[in-house]
Structure 1
Amino acid sequence: MSPQRAARLTAALDPRAAARRAWEAVPAAGQLAVAATAAYCVAHFALGRAVPLLAITVCLSSLGFVRDARPRRVLETAFGLSVGVALAEVVLVVAGRGVAQILIALFVTLLVARALQAPPAIAVAATAQSAIVLLLQLPAGGTWARSVDGLVGGGMALLATALLPRDPRHAAQRDADVVFAGLRRAIDDLARAFRTADPGAAASSLATLRALQPAQSDWTTTVDSAVAIARISPLLHGRLDELRGQRRLVDGIDLAVRSLRTIARRAEATLADGRPRPELAQLVSVIGQVSGLLGRSVREPGAAALARRDLVLVAERLDPRVLTPGASVSDAMITVLVRPIVVDLAVAAGDDAAAVRSRLPVLG
């Protein structure tokens, strides 16, 4: 067994990690359970279905135990599943029940789902719903009763998204913590590389920055989902500005990480001469301190103002002739590469890009 697989297995069997995962899943589990039960009640008590299986399965599949809970994704999933149910009903009406009919219905459902540009997972889920229709006995409500049940399940999923939203802020904060912790490690390694002339530390910084991409993608998805839900949910609408601010933070950190990767690559080559660069180490350390303030701002919005203040002070000194007088072209270029990072972080903190650029010294 590889070390990576062993580590994943150990993490999966860790009781504390399992308890933490279960606790973090409570909001989603509660939403799914309430919505599916409500879909059952509507179909059973209001519409008279004895066993409204599809109302429950479509509702659960539409909401899903997924990070991306945007209303659009829920709607697309509910529509795709309802199409699968309806196609199976059509096959039953036209050709009856049998093995050949199952083959035709499954094949056609897959093709229609892909023609409608449904993601592969939704296409397969729609086909599974189609199979359920073909295998179960006709309900008391008639041929199209199961299509109605599917619509009930999809509609209840949409209602739950708006009226029983999973509070996305906690998930977004957890994702942000992962990103900022990795960013801090990378910046510390990069500062140490310049301070001690260690190309290995620069390589370690670059590896950490590259490894941040999945965590950044998770954070982006969570925040996008949160913004989309807050637009339609009366319970979260008051948090919309806060969530939009975090979306701005996501974009700024993403751009800053890209620029830091460029600096880390250049540093690895530049430091091969074995000469320490304490001025560059200090500059990178300041960027790390500002990043720490931005990380705090996810929970403490006031920290963003401190970050903006510090970034303006840094921007005013970002002239290679001032920071590293007499430096080589390669060293001066690293200082120049920090300039867009400062602008991106300032925008992430809520500042205006043009205003920050105006504080940068003119190069020439």
Structure 2
Amino acid sequence: MPPTSNPQGPATAPGSAAADRAAGFSRWLGSATRAGVRRAGASAPAILQLSVAVVAAYSVTHFGLGHAAPITAATVTLSSLGFVRDARPVRVLETAIGITLGITLSEVILLAFGQGVWQLGLSVAVTLFIARILSPAPGFAVIAGVQSALVAMLPVVVGGPFTRTIDGLVGGAIALAATALIPRDPRRGELADARRVLRVFSDLVTDLVAELRRGPDNDVYRVLEGARRTQPLVDQWRTSLESALGVARISPFLRRRLPELNRQKVMLAGIDLAIRDLRVVIRRLTVVMRDGQPRPQFADLFDGLVGALSLLEQSLTDPLVRPLVRQHLILIAVRLDPDELFPDNTMVEVSVVLELRPLVMDLLTATGLSAAEARASLPSLPA
């Protein structure tokens, strides 16, 4: 019998390059779709807030004030709230002011000089200049400039001068009201960010323990590189926490969470300093470990910190765990006596112990102790 040909052709045969590319694209598409669905689901509270606020702004200006097409009210509301992580009322207010400023200045120029190409340029230039005087944030000037350009180019609305300015003021007021009355849950973002920072911190210390026990062929520098990448995570936590605090202060529905958020603010301050201390300690250890000798004393100390960080993460949602965290850290702190750990007074190891002391002290302040109370838990150093 004559040989039969593959109806799909050799290009799509199993194991061919084309089949591999198709399978890879299918996996990528599936992954991207799942990520998009998760992203949209996480944005559901913001979508609800934005939708209700836009309808409210339109209703007030259209039905209440009689404006035929209050486009500005809707755009100001949307732009002021947005999808940004920083949903603090002050940020919403700043955005609303910037947008309304651009609208007002453009309407003044239209009223004085009419509509045209050179008036468009004048509106944008004047708006950007004044916006830069009022705020150092480049985004403030850009937002004001965009609105100024739109007002200068769009047809003049029926209703008299400054109609769009009034719509902008209504949109900004509705955005602020929505921030307080239809808040996005401030716990979801900041709590996830806090846990992420603490877990990365714990993972770094765990890796450091392994390198200290390994001795020869250790790679402490790799741990240092990881520690240097932590600051953006801390900054992200700070942004989401400040946003949560700002909303909780004005929202009657979230004010009861202020004590929890304030405790987390104290924790963030201590953890930020402790991670900076950790970088200093690891830099010192990259020098100490060049001799290839294991350092079990340091490994044991850091191993204790792993347990403390795990308890500290639990305390994010259970304040009753905090005393246990303090006890755990104090048991580590009392051991930070250079003469006890290294009776031979090896200066290299002693310097590491001295740099470990502020790290543990800052972790103690993260549990709510004052700096003086945390310092008192450390053994005294000889004069």
TM-score, with normalisation over the residues of structure 2? Answer: 0.89
SS in 2 for 1:218: helix
- Counterpart for residue 164 of structure 2: 146
Residue 4 of structure 1 corresponds to none
Q: CA RMSD in A?
A: 1.8
Map of 2:3 onto structure 1: none
Match of 1:3 in 2: none
**Percent same amino acid among aligned pairs?**
44
Tell me how far apart the structure 2 counterparts of residues 199 and 270 of structure 1 sit (CA, whole Å): 13
Change (3 A) 1:12 1:210: farther
CA deviation profile, 1:299-321 (whole Å, cap 9, x unmatched): 23233221111112222221122
Conserved in 1, the CA contact under 8 Å of 2:218 and 2:289? no
**Change over 3 Å in CA distance of 1:118–1:52 after alignment to 2:** farther
Aligned residue for 2:366?
348
Count of aligned residue pairs for this structure pair: 356
Between the aligned partners of 2:102 and 2:31, the Cα distance in structure 1 is 38
Q: Which residue does 1:6 correspond to in 2?
A: none
- Residue 91 of structure 1 deviates from its aligned partner by 0.7
Aligned runs of 1:282-361 on 2, under 5 Å? 282-361=300-379
Contact 1:85–1:126 (8 Å) recurs in 2: yes
Residue 327 of structure 1: how far off its partner (Å):
4.9
How many angstroms apart in 1 are the aligned matches of 2:34 and 2:195? Answer: 19
Moved more, 249-258 or 20-29: 20-29
TM-aligned CA deviation for residue 10 of structure 1: 5.8
Structure 1 residue 20: deviation in Å? 2.0
Q: CA deviation at 1:146?
A: 0.4
Q: Unmatched 5+ residue regions in structure 2? A: 1-26
Q: Distance in 2 between matches of 1:12 and 1:112?
A: 48
Deviations 1:40-78 (A, max 9, x none): 111111011111100011111111211111111111111
- Flag structure 1 segments of 5+ consecutive residues without an equivalent: 1-8
Q: Deviations over 1:317-351 (max 9, x none)?
A: 21122233325211112122111111111111112
Provide TM-score, normalisation by structure 1: 0.94
Return the letter of the residue paired with 1:313.
Answer: L
Separation in structure 2 between the aligned mates of residue 112 and residue 84 of structure 1, nearest angstrom: 9
| 1:194–1:281 Cα contact (<8 Å) kept | yes
SS of 1:216's equivalent in the other structure is helix
Q: Answer with 105-114 or 131-140: which moved more.
A: 131-140
2:263 corresponds to 1:273: no
- Kindly tell me: are residues 147 and 137 of structure 1, through their superposed partners in 2, closer, same or farther at Cα, counting changes over 3 Å? same
After TM superposition, the structure 1 = structure 2 runs for residues 1-364 of structure 1, keeping only pairs within 5 Å, are 14-197=32-215, 200-364=218-382
- Runs ≥4 residues deviating over 6 A: none
Report the Cα offset of residue 13 of structure 1: 5.1
1:14 and 1:304 map into 2 onto residues whose CA distance is 40
